Amino acid sequence: MSVAGTSVIERVETFPVAPRWLFVRIETSDGIVGWGEASLEGYADVVKAAVDQFSGYLVGTDPSTIEDHWQVLTKGQFYRFGAVLASAVAGVDQALWDILGKRLGVPVHELLGGAVRQSIRAYGWVGGDDPSEVAEEISAQLDVGLTAVKMNASGKMSRSGSLAELNMVVARVASAREVLGDDRDVAVDCHGRFALATARRLAPLLEPLHPFFIEEPVVPENSHVIGHMVDATTIPIALGERLYSRQEFLPVLQAGVAVVQPDLSHAGGISEVRRIAALAEVFDASIAPHCPLGPLALAACLQVGFATPNHLIQEQSIGIHYNDGAEVLDYMLDPEPFAFVDGHFPLLTGPGLGITIDESAVRAAAKLWDGWQNPIWRHTDGAVAEW
């Protein structure tokens, strides 16, 4: 429905781009353009279809009524949420916040109540299948100024977790700790590859190495058992990249999870993640948004982080090895807002999300889109393994 005498949404466009991202562009009748990121790895084309369907409602409406749009997009139809719809809503939500900030000439964090910090600590992801490779990759991250890293606990993991498998995990984390020393941090991501019993067996072995946190020790559909993991270790337990709403985060917070990791491009965007952060604060938990994604997702994370008291640290994928075909900074006209200073992102001061997208690069990349799927792993007996 158009709004008389005010700017209205005139156009909604979507751009699937390498390596595995989906950008959303919303233009208003007075020429303001807002950008968001609806990346859902492996399902970009499916989310694109959802955003395209949303555009039938959005075109002609007031872009400033962000909360009302969020309510309509999440509750206006009988079937709701899930990864695809929540990601589509997230991209639209980010773009609307970007428009509002640009209209008022302020960064989004000022619209969320103002900055509670002047910088945000960042961490990078490191691979490596053996301890020596881990050490080399961590050294490269330290060279660019980071003070924290995250690593996979393992590759493919058997359900029972053999002694050799567990020893390899410990050796890799020990190698990381040796390089990092006592004043820098390593987080350990289990990626949902572990059965609960195996994860409970592993955690006490890692305690002397003081991981920053253990992430996603079990798959999200088994979140009802996460309390048993919390009770098995003094290491903080983190999860949430595959949870999409306050309602899904509530039981894991009640179970004692210390760090929640909603993804700004999966969990309903800036609007919902702000509410998830407030919920986490009630349980004395921190928020560390998941973001191995593109520049718009990262900017949205930082805008929330600057205005959120219980924000812990920010994941980012600048220079990460699996950004095949494009890099985070490739879609930005000016990479300076993402320049690390002593392992931190400085306060974003530009209007809206605080970055400027290279629209010509995005449009060119979308014409070359060829899709992305994660590999299918199998155990030695042929059964499907967690990736």
Q: Which residues are registered as beta bridge partners of 263?
A: 290
Angle at 49 between CA 46 and CA 52, to 5 degrees: 155
Tell me the backbone φ, ψ of residue 337, rounded to 5 degrees.
-60, -20
Distance CA 39, CA 21 (A): 5
- Give one DSSP letter per residue of 288-299, joined into a string: --B--S-HHHHH
Q: Are 51 and 12 spatial neighbours (Cβ–Cβ below 8 Å)?
A: yes
Q: What's the half-sphere exposure (Cβ side, CA atoms, 13 Å) at 94?
A: 36
Q: Which residue reads 């900030």 in tokens?
A: 101
Helix/strand/coil for 96: helix
Distance CA 287, CA 229 (A): 19
Q: Does 228 participate in catalysis according to the annotation? A: no
The H-or-E segment that residue 362 falls in is: helix 359-367
What's the Rg (C-alpha) of the chain?
Answer: 21
Q: Are 339 and 114 spatial neighbours (Cβ–Cβ below 8 Å)?
A: no
Q: Does 191 participate in catalysis according to the annotation? A: yes
Catalytic residue selected from 290, 311, 344, 379: 290
Catalytic residue selected from 191, 210, 224, 228: 191
- List active site positions: 191, 290
